[in-house]
Amino acid sequence: MVRRIIEIDQEKCNGCGACAAACHEGAIGMADGKAVLLRDDYCDGLGDCLPTCPTGAITFVEREAAAYDEAAVLAKKAAALKDSAPVRVPPSGGCPGGMARALNHDGAPAAPISCGGPVSRLMQWPVQIKLLPVQAPFYNGAKLLIAADCTAFSRADFHERFMRGRITVIGCPKLDEGDYADKLTEIIRLNDIREVTVVRMDVPCCGGIQRAAETALRQSGKFIPWQVVTLGRDGNILD
C-alpha cells in the first residue's frame, strides 16, 4: 500500500538519537552512528520524531510501505519488558554478574584512611538501564539517578556529588539501540521512587536520555520531584 511514512536523510543525521527516543513504536534505531528506520510496519506515520530532530533530517514521504502493525508494536514492547525482568542464575549455572543485588556503601566515610581514597557510592548492581530489572527491593523509597555514560568520567567527585544516596542507572542513547522511555516508565510506575535526578553532558546525543526520563515521568502518572544537571565536557556544572 502507498502511505505516509518517515524518511531519514543520512547526510543530515548527526547521530544524536533524539528521534529514536521520541519514537514510542520503536520504528527508529541507531546503526553505525546514524538513525535508521528499522521496520516500515512499526512507523505509524504521525511523526512524533520530526520536531525532536535538531538537523531536520526527518521528513514525510508517500511511498509503498507495509501497513502500520499496532499488534506487532505492542508485542515488541511486551517482549522488551519481559526481557527486563530480574536476571536469576539457574541451578545448572549461568552468569552471576547479571543478578540484581543491593550494595551497602552509603554509610562509609568520604575518604577512609584504610583505603587511601574515596569509596564507591554505588548502591546496587547492575547499573545499565538495559540490564536493570523493572522491580527490585533497592528501588523502594529510592532517589533515582539517571546518568549518561560519559558523565562519571568528567568529574572526579561524581560518586560523592551525584551517586551518594541514590540508585544509579546509566545509558547512552547514541550507542544503545532502542528507547529507554518504556523501561524507565515501568521502574518509576512500579516502585516507590521519591525523586529523580538526570545528569547529562552538554552534547546533542545526551538529549535522548533526558527526553526518555521526561517521557517516563509523564507516562508513569506520578508527580515526583525531578531535576536535570548538565555537565560541560570539562566537568563543570552548566545548569
Query: pTM (2 decimals)?
Result: 0.60
For residue 89, the model assigns a pLDDT of: 40
Report the alpha-carbon angle 70-75-79, nearest 5. Answer: 150
Q: pLDDT tens digit string along 208-225?
A: 899 999 999 999 989 999
- CA 88 to CA 156: how far, in whole Å? 34
| pLDDT at 201 > cutoff 90 | yes
Residue 93 has a pLDDT of: 43
Task: Give the three-state DSSP class for 83.
Answer: helix
Give the least confident one: 46-60, 156-170, 190-204: 46-60
Q: What is the fold, at CATH topology level, of the domain defined by 2-75? A: Alpha-Beta Plaits (3.30.70)
* 108-158 residue pLDDT tens: 555 444 455 678 999 998 999 988 888 888 999 999 999 999 999 999 999
Domain boundaries, the chain: 2-75, 95-231
What is the Cα–Cα distance from 28 to 49, expressed in whole angstroms? 9
Residue 105 in this model has a pLDDT that exceeds 70: no
Average pLDDT score over the chain: 84
pLDDT at position 108 is 52
Residue whose cell numbers read 546509566: 170
Phi/psi at 52 (5° precision):
-85, -15
Question: What one-character DSSP code corresponds to residue 188?
Answer: H
What the block records as the C-alpha cell of 37 is 528506520
At the topology level, CATH places domain 95-231 in: Dna Topoisomerase Vi A Subunit; Chain: A, domain 2 (3.40.1360)
CA 123 vs CA 93, 154, 200, 214, 225: distances in Å: 25, 20, 20, 23, 21
